[in-house]
Structure 1
Amino acid sequence: MKINDFRLECYFEKYEFTAPYLLTQSDCESMTTKELLSLEPGAEEAYLNQWLGYTETWGDPELREKIALLYKNMTAEDVLVFHGAQEAIFGYMNVMLNEGDHMIAMYPNYQSAYEIAKSVPNCELSLWHIRDDGTKWVVDFDELEALIKPNTKIIAINSPNNPTGYTFTNEEIKKLCEICRKHDIYLFSDEVYKGLELDGDKRDWMADHYEKCASLGVMSKAYGLAGLRVGWLVSKDHETLKKVVKFKHYMSICDSAPAEFLAKVALKHSDELLERSKNIIRNNMKIADEFFDRYPYLFEKKPITCGPVAYHKLLVDMPVKEFCQLAVDRKGVLLLPSYIYEMDGQYFRMGYGRKNMPESLAKFEEFLIEEKFAR
């Protein structure tokens, strides 16, 4: 197959490990292997005795059980483990999309969620846009239903959304699942930030509401354990999972045994790790809110209810692409401009999940002052 470049990854390939002030990262603060193992008595010794042979293609049975416990109505048989979330998306979309199918993707979204559709001959793609109402990001379910065609096979969503931070309420989750059920459409639900609710309203996993939903999770984002490269799909649709696992045979085949061990330790302490991430985000939100309050003439702040990212609007008379380029060139501050998502408008993504956000934000403020954007 031929597929377009992954714009976000090409951008990060250039700057992620060279720019000193990463103000746009979408994952939460990580930790050392030793710190993670210290959460569980006896885990360090057990880790050192971990057998380094092949693992099961479906994933370690105990790991699958622990993932299933995150959901209301799932068992280990409903779980397929992957080498990160990207592999899960790539496998699912390649298995499900065929010539003549139509797919609807929430937009903006992670590029691989919709890019596969563009690579399948005569596969149609429609975008369900998250829109800026002037104060916050919103969606329109009537607009979604208007996009549905007789050959619509998949609706792909991402909530909490990266980059906007938009998050479905539980009522909206039920409504979306009802729409999919009414039209007999598969739902691919990217929920990699699940568990980072900041408004006190815990969201349901969508797969708990719809049997043809595949729910995507990962250790990378909410848990801050991106180096493990452990993700999963959960679904009651075993027929689809069996097709996807056969595609996995041509990718990773199986996960890393040490990574699966560490993922099991992490999930034993799921609540603790998620609360750790939420506390970092909350503290950074206070600092960021004070920052934006100082510069209402430069930025239009957008609120977030869940997850570590927000998509703010730039108000200066300069293309956002040039503004972000200037910030990284002059002060090493990395932001993610909207053109990376092929979006119109003066938007940039800011990440709230890292402990060094205050330092990066202070450097960004230096940039604004030195370049005379600030009054």
Structure 2
Amino acid sequence: MKVKIHTLFQYLLETTDAAPEAIVGFSLSQSPVLGDFLDDLDPQQSLDWNGRDFRGLPELRDHVLDQAGLAGICTAEDVLITAGAAEANYLAIMQLLRPGDEIVTETPGWPQADVLAKAAGARIVQVHRKEAEGWALSLDDLAKAVTSKTRLIFLSNPNNPTGRMLDRGELKDIVRIADRVGAWLIVDEVYAGLEWNAPRAPSVAGLYGRGITTGSVSKALGLQGLRTGWLVCPDKDLVMDAVIRRENASEIMNIMGEVISEIALRPARYQTSLDAARRAGAANLAHLNGWISSQPGLSWVPPQAGLIGLGKLPEGIDSDAFARFLLADPYRTFLLPGSAYGQAGHIRLGVGGGAEVNLDEGLNRLAQGLADWLA
């Protein structure tokens, strides 16, 4: 079945050439530059594949387990290095879903699972997170949605795009719900590590035999351009099926993505980078919270983790029309409309990207745009 474009990607494609002067809602930490890694790179590094393991560099896979708290629970054989978390999700979803299967997803949530489920001919059952409840996931609603027909549950933790977290107790309850019907459970962890007021939640690959953890170096470390992520699952057959499926698509990981990601995830360096990202993110979130409180009619539920959240526009403003209005002269400011996540009347706000995204100027222009729209 044909894969149909989701609204988020369609908007990005349509606005790529807009050349905004400021961005509001940047979703990843400030990106390092290649020079930050040169001292640790070998000039004689071959640009052939790693030549050691089709699953990715063994030391990189060990680092993945370490940062996820899975060392001693899962093994390196349970890890497959992928082209970002997106490929990890793709490899799992497309091998698990068959026509007529049911997948339970959350909304708002990362839309990739819905797009792939439609392509696979599966039936999508959505559990609605409610803004009035702080975007919490109702486990009662989830339990009602999961039936004997459920093949797969797909969630993100921290939730993308609201930043709401599931804690250890909630994840264990979700595992029980999945296990009751023998469903697989994917939890996308791309924002893990950027928790503001609570410890990082455990990874589902360490809680459940059919649990699949996906993640990447993109968000917390700002290394999106490396396209390096991972899939972790204790089920050996699922991991091997992912290896075989990838061999017929991207085939192997890119060696520079593997090498630089291995350097970035070395425990001491990883912690230093994460601490810096957390300091910058926390400071910018405090600034953004203050700014939102000063804007008439604009509100949001601050994220518990990650760098983005959904801002609620004043009543009557269409988010798609407003996003395009703000992208045009004289504002020249990019933001993502909430329709990308099925949330009309909202916009994605965020604090990533560092100085180059010109956040303060973007907020000033957003404030002026709102005032002009409502005038």
Q: Same fold (TM over 0.5)?
A: yes
Q: What is the distance in 2 between the residues matched to 1:16 and 1:85? A: 22
5+ unaligned residues in a row in structure 1: which ranges?
none
Give the alignment's TM-score, normalised by structure 2: 0.92
Structure 1 residue 110: deviation in Å? 2.0
Correspondence 1:91 to 2:88: no
Q: 5 Å matches for 1:184-195?
A: 184-195=182-193
User: Hey, what does 1:28 align to over in structure 2?
Assistant: 29
Correspondence 1:53 to 2:48: yes
| Equivalent position SS for 2:265 | helix
Q: 5 Å matches for 1:188-207?
A: 188-207=186-205
Q: What is the distance in 2 between the residues matched to 1:367 and 1:119? A: 37
User: Hey, what does 1:115 align to over in structure 2?
Assistant: 115
Conserved in 2, the CA contact under 8 Å of 1:217 and 1:231?
Answer: yes
Equivalenced residues, count: 365
Correspondence 1:365 to 2:364: yes
User: Hey, what does 2:339 align to over in structure 1?
Assistant: 339
Q: What is the distance in 1 between the residues matched to 2:229 and 2:357? A: 30
Q: What is the distance in 1 between the residues matched to 2:7 and 2:163? A: 20
Alignment RMSD: 1.9
User: Hey, what does 1:320 align to over in structure 2?
Assistant: 319
User: Hey, what does 1:266 align to over in structure 2?
Assistant: 264
CA distance 1:210–1:282, shift in 2 (3 Å): same
Structure 1 residue 374: deviation in Å? 7.8
Conserved in 2, the CA contact under 8 Å of 1:284 and 1:357?
Answer: no
Q: What is the distance in 1 between the residues matched to 2:6 and 2:319? A: 20
| Equivalent position SS for 1:187 | strand
1:274-321 deviation digits (Å, cap 9, x = unpaired) = 1121111111112112211211x2201211111111111111432122
1:316-365 deviation digits (Å, cap 9, x = unpaired) = 4321222221111131211111212233x411111212213883343332
Conserved in 2, the CA contact under 8 Å of 1:284 and 1:358?
Answer: no
CA distance 1:183–1:367, shift in 2 (3 Å): closer
Conserved in 2, the CA contact under 8 Å of 1:16 and 1:22?
Answer: no
CA distance 1:29–1:180, shift in 2 (3 Å): same
CA distance 1:19–1:129, shift in 2 (3 Å): same
| Equivalent position SS for 1:12 | helix
User: Which residue of 152, 155, 167 corresponds with 1:154?
Assistant: 152
| Equivalent position SS for 1:233 | strand
1:216-265 deviation digits (Å, cap 9, x = unpaired) = 01011111101111110001111111111111011111111111110110
Identity percentage of aligned residues: 24
Q: What is the distance in 2 between the residues matched to 1:130 and 1:250? A: 37
Residue type matched to 1:99 in 2? P
CA distance 1:368–1:177, shift in 2 (3 Å): same
Residue type matched to 1:342 in 2? G
Q: 5 Å matches for 1:142-291?
A: 142-268=140-266, 269-291=269-291
User: Hey, what does 2:308 align to over in structure 1?
Assistant: 309
Structure 1 residue 215: deviation in Å? 0.1
1:51-109 deviation digits (Å, cap 9, x = unpaired) = 11123421112211221222331221110111112211112111110122111012222
Conserved in 2, the CA contact under 8 Å of 1:26 and 1:162?
Answer: no
Structure 1 residue 15: deviation in Å? 3.0
| Equivalent position SS for 1:133 | helix
Conserved in 2, the CA contact under 8 Å of 1:50 and 1:257?
Answer: no
1:7-27 deviation digits (Å, cap 9, x = unpaired) = 222222333562221212222
Correspondence 1:126 to 2:125: yes
Q: What is the distance in 1 between the residues matched to 2:171 and 2:13? A: 35
Residue type matched to 2:26 in 1? Q
Conserved in 1, the CA contact under 8 Å of 2:209 and 2:234?
Answer: yes
Structure 1 residue 35: deviation in Å? 1.4
1:97-124 deviation digits (Å, cap 9, x = unpaired) = 0122111012222222121111223x21
Give the alignment's TM-score, normalised by structure 1: 0.92
User: Hey, what does 1:3 align to over in structure 2?
Assistant: 3
